[in-house]
Amino acid sequence: MKTLLQRTLGPLTAVTLALTVWLGIWVTPPDKVQGDLARMLYIHPALAWVALYVSFGTVVVASALYLWPRTRSLTVDRVAEAALEVSIVFIALTLITGSLWGRPAWGVWWVWDARLTSTAIMGVLELGIIALRRANLDPDIRARRSAVLALVSALNVIIIHFSVTWWQTLHQSASVLAPGGKLEVHGSMLWTMLLSFVAFTLLFSWLTRERYRLSVRRAGRTSDVLQAALAQRQAEGVPR
């Protein structure tokens, strides 16, 4: 029996996303400095939040659980696989929306800035993990190797997070919560931004759940095909 959360996840995601778009484009005022361009900040930071912290955080936790013998299971490997694929989609969107903001704000589509470059490297690392998964057919070897690479790749998330303070970057430093805990965004702009974080986190949960179910169905189908092939071979071996 489905729980209330399972039943409401899809509709809740759709409603919060629709509210974010409505508030972000039609309700919130234009920014004093950036004008309408600030409306991009109701999607770009939330996309990055999901890509790097929520999705890849899930990959890291699931990978660590797989490598720990007591918690090793195909379930946690499938969770890692699902969250990884969702993370790649969100990283791509983070880079695209950042570029669409950068063109009018900075005058360039792309710059080899520490934050941008390290985020792009994260996308390449995640594609590498996907490639590694496809190169290994043995489920255990595949899960172990991709889990190790995911944990190594997690170091890059730390680099991305601190890149704006470790290096002189074109990308601005923390702009919602400034160092010292002072809020830099207020009123409807703040609430819309917070709602966008909730909406995209819910969307991550929904997409990851659906991707996980796909892995389970595929595993079941592979098992059925294998059983059918074994039964056929056994039938061939029976003397007539």
Partner 1 sequence: MKYVIAGYSVTGVVLAGYALSLWWRSHRDVD
Judged by CB under 8 A, the residue of 15, 96, 131, 155 near partner 1 is: 96
Q: Which of 37, 170, 190, 198 binds partner 1 (CB under 8 A)?
A: 37
Q: By CB under 8 A, name the one of 8, 15, 25, 184 that touches partner 1.
A: 25
How far apart CA 156 and CA 160 sit, in angstroms, is: 6
26 burial via Cβ count (<10 Å: 0-12, 13-18, 19+): exposed
* Binding test (CB under 8 A) with partner 1, winner from 49, 56, 66, 101: 101
Closest distance to partner 1 from the beta carbon of 103 (Å): 6
| Interior/surface letters 156-183, b for 16+ CB within 10 angstroms, e for the rest | bbebbeebbeeeebebeeeeeeeeeeee
Tokens 């899960």 belong to residue: 143
Which of 226, 208, 228 lies closest to 13 in space, CA to CA? 208
Q: Which of 47, 65, 114, 157 binds partner 1 (CB under 8 A)?
A: 47
Helix ranges (H only) for 107-166 are: 114-135, 139-166
By CB under 8 A, tell whether 130 contacts partner 1.
no
Q: Which two tokens stand for residue 19?
A: 């509210």
Closest CA to 170 of 240, 229, 117: 117
Interacting span for partner 1 (CB under 8 A) from 41-49, 52-60, 63-71, 157-165: 41-49
Q: Is 21 in the site for partner 1 (CB under 8 A)?
A: yes
Binding of residue 176 to partner 1 (CB under 8 A) = no
Which residues, 189 to 208, sit near partner 1 by CB under 8 A? 203, 207
Q: Is 89 in the site for partner 1 (CB under 8 A)?
A: yes
Per-residue HEC secondary structure of 159-219 comes to HHHHHHHHCCCCCCCCCCECCCCCECCCHHHHHHHHHHHHHHHHHHHHHHHHHHHHHHHHH
Choices 43-51, 59-67, 134-142, 182-190 (CB under 8 A): range interacting with partner 1? 43-51
CA–CA dist 4, 172 (Å, integer): 40
218 binds partner 1 (CB under 8 A): yes
Identify the residue among 177, 221, 230, 232 touching partner 1 (CB under 8 A): 221
Contact positions toward partner 1, by CB under 8 A?
Answer: 21, 24-25, 36-37, 39-40, 43-44, 47, 86, 89, 92-93, 96-97, 100-101, 103-104, 203, 207, 210-211, 213-214, 217-218, 221
